């Protein structure tokens, strides 16, 4: 069958099935199981209303449970099995993984990413938000800085590979970074993506470029939400623009900055496409998610693959706990 036709049929079945399920199950509940008539009408209505939420929730909770909750525990279980998942090996996978230089390199690089990308994106985003809010064409500027958000990590990788391109000395450079480097007096064109440690930085720039727009949009909304009186008071007290920004505005949006920071941190922990497309972990640029992909689909070692996924989960766990706690606080 042609995939487009298959897609149309799936949409019809999926959407129709969902709507049909909700409609029919409600009908069944109201007309057959607990009809709102007869001798115990009040009791029936109450019972129907007690059951109905679960009808509404069931498909979503089933999908969430099967596609996200169950895999967490299953992956944890599988991480104690050997490469073909046939035999229990205890902590063997973890021991082997932590003995492997490539894994330690991935761990180190992930920490570098964690330190630099959220900080840089938030800082640039804050700067962009503050500056664009003050000028007339600010909205256009915001749109353009925000645009990389829509570009895939793979597309961004191609875009930046062109920026980092290097031609041998003597030929004209087509990568703009080398053209600038030579124009500023560099001695010879550099293969930017093969210089250890620095190449991590060049990969991070791609993600910073994408995430700055996100930080900018959210921080700009937060900045606009600051009560004007506080700023007026500061001006009357003789504060200069920098003092207003750092001592009045930033403390008031600290909560939002933390949210932006953690959101970008989550993206960084899962970063895969950029490294996969640009260097594939060569030249000391490995990261955890790409290491896991390598183990799964190149080395065929599902045990160590699961173990490395659990490492990512452990790194995410503090954010998860913090998120749940603040969500619960809000509910009260």
Partner 1 sequence: MDNIAGSKAGLTWAVHLSVALLVFVWMVPTVGLFISSFRTADQISSTGWWKAAFPIEQNLTLRTAAPDTQVQEGDQFVVTGNLFEEAESTVSNLSAFAISARDIGAYQPGETAEMRDGSRITVEENGDYRLESAEAFEGSRGERVFVTATVPPEFTLANYDQVLGKDVARNIVIYAVASLLFGFALTLIFRSYETGVMSFAHYIGGFLLFFALIAIFGLSSGKVAGAQSTDDMSRAFMSTLTVTIPATIIPIVIAAFAAYALAWMDFPGRALLIAFVVALLVVPLQLALIPLLKLHLAIGIGKGYLGVWLAHTGFGLPLAIYLLRNYMVGLPRDIIENAKVDGATDYQIFVRIILPLSFPALASFAIFQFLWTWNDLLVAKVFLIDATGDTTVMTNQIVELLGTRGGNWEILATAAFVSIAVPLLVFFMMQKYLVRGLLAGSVK
**Chain position carrying tokens 């933390």:** 258
Any idea what DSSP says for residue 85?
S
Tell me the β-bridge partners of 88.
Answer: 81
Establish if 200 lies at the interface with partner 1 (CB under 8 A).
no
Report the Cα 315 to chain-centroid distance in Å.
14
Q: Which of 33, 41, 174, 254 binds partner 1 (CB under 8 A)?
A: 174
Distances (CA, A) of 32 to 21, 27, 41, 213, 219: 15, 8, 13, 54, 53
What's the closest the beta carbon of residue 42 comes to partner 1, in angstroms?
A: 15
Q: Which of 32, 60, 99, 185 binds partner 1 (CB under 8 A)?
A: 60
Largest pairwise CA distance in the chain:
95
What's the closest the beta carbon of residue 308 comes to partner 1, in angstroms?
A: 8
Distance CA 249, CA 16 (A): 50
What's the closest the beta carbon of residue 79 comes to partner 1, in angstroms?
A: 9
Q: Which of 112, 114, 119, 231 binds partner 1 (CB under 8 A)?
A: 231
In this structure, the number of other CB atoms found within 10 A of the CB of residue 293 comes to: 18
- Number of residues lying near partner 1 (CB under 8 A): 122
Hey, which residues between 303 and 322 contact partner 1 (CB under 8 A)?
Answer: 305-306, 309-310, 312-313, 316, 319-320
DSSP H helices in 133-171: 138-146, 153-164
Reduced to 3 states (helix: H, G, I; strand: E, B; else coil), residue 81 is strand
In this structure, the number of other CB atoms found within 10 A of the CB of residue 25 comes to: 17
Beta strand segments in 48-155, E? none
Hey, which residues between 77 and 106 contact partner 1 (CB under 8 A)?
Answer: 78, 85
In the shown chain, the binding pattern of residues 255 to 284 toward partner 1, with x for contact by CB under 8 A and - for none, equals xx--xx--x--x--xx-xx--xx-------
Binding segment toward partner 1, per CB under 8 A, in 47-55, 86-94, 99-107, 111-119: 47-55
What's the closest the beta carbon of residue 52 comes to partner 1, in angstroms?
A: 6
Q: Which of 33, 104, 131, 299 binds partner 1 (CB under 8 A)?
A: 131
Hey, which residues between 141 and 160 contact partner 1 (CB under 8 A)?
Answer: 141, 143-155, 157-160
Binding segment toward partner 1, per CB under 8 A, in 12-20, 95-103, 111-119, 191-199: 12-20
**Closer Cβ to partner 1, 2 or 185, answer by number:** 2
Distance CA 144, CA 147 (A): 5
Return phi, psi of residue 250, to 5°. Answer: -55, -45
Establish if 33 lies at the interface with partner 1 (CB under 8 A).
no
Establish if 170 lies at the interface with partner 1 (CB under 8 A).
no
Establish if 41 lies at the interface with partner 1 (CB under 8 A).
no
Distances (CA, A) of 264 to 98, 116, 125: 26, 11, 12
């Amino acid at each position: 069958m042609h995939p487009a036709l298959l897609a149309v049929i799936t949409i019809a079945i999926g959407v129709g099935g969902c709507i049909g399920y909700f409609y029919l199950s409600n009908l069944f509940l109201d007309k057959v199981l607990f009809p709102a008539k007869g001798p115990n009408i009040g009791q029936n209505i109450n019972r129907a209303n007690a059951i109905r939420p679960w009808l509404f929730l069931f498909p979503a909770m089933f999908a969430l449970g099967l596609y996200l909750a169950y895999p967490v525990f299953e992956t944890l279980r599988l991480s104690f099995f050997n490469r073909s998942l046939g035999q229990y090996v205890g902590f063997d996978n973890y021991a082997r993984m932590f003995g492997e230089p490539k894994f330690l390199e991935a761990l180190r690089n992930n920490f570098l990413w964690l330190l630099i990308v959220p900080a840089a994106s938030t800082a640039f985003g804050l700067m962009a938000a503050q500056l664009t809010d003050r000028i007339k064409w600010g909205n256009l500027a915001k749109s353009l800085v925000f645009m990389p958000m829509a570009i895939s990590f793979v597309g961004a990788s191609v875009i930046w590979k062109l920026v980092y391109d290097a031609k041998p000395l003597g030929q004209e450079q087509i990568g703009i970074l080398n053209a600038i480097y030579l124009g500023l007096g560099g001695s010879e064109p550099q293969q930017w993506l093969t210089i250890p440690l620095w190449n991590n930085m060049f990969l991070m720039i791609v993600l910073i470029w994408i995430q700055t727009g996100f930080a900018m949009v959210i921080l700009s909304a937060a900045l606009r939400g600051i009560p004007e009186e506080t700023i007026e008071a500061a001006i009357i007290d003789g504060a200069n623009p920098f003092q207003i920004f750092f001592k009045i505005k930033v403390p008031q949006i600290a909560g939002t900055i933390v949210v932006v920071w953690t959101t970008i941190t989550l993206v960084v922990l899962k970063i895969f496409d950029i490294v996969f497309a640009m260097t594939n972990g060569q030249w000391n640029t490995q990261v955890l998610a790409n290491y896991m992909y390598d183990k799964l689909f190149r080395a065929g070692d599902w045990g160590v693959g699961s173990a490395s996924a659990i490492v990512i989960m452990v790194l995410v766990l503090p954010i998860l706990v913090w998120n749940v706690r603040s969500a619960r606080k809000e509910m009260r």
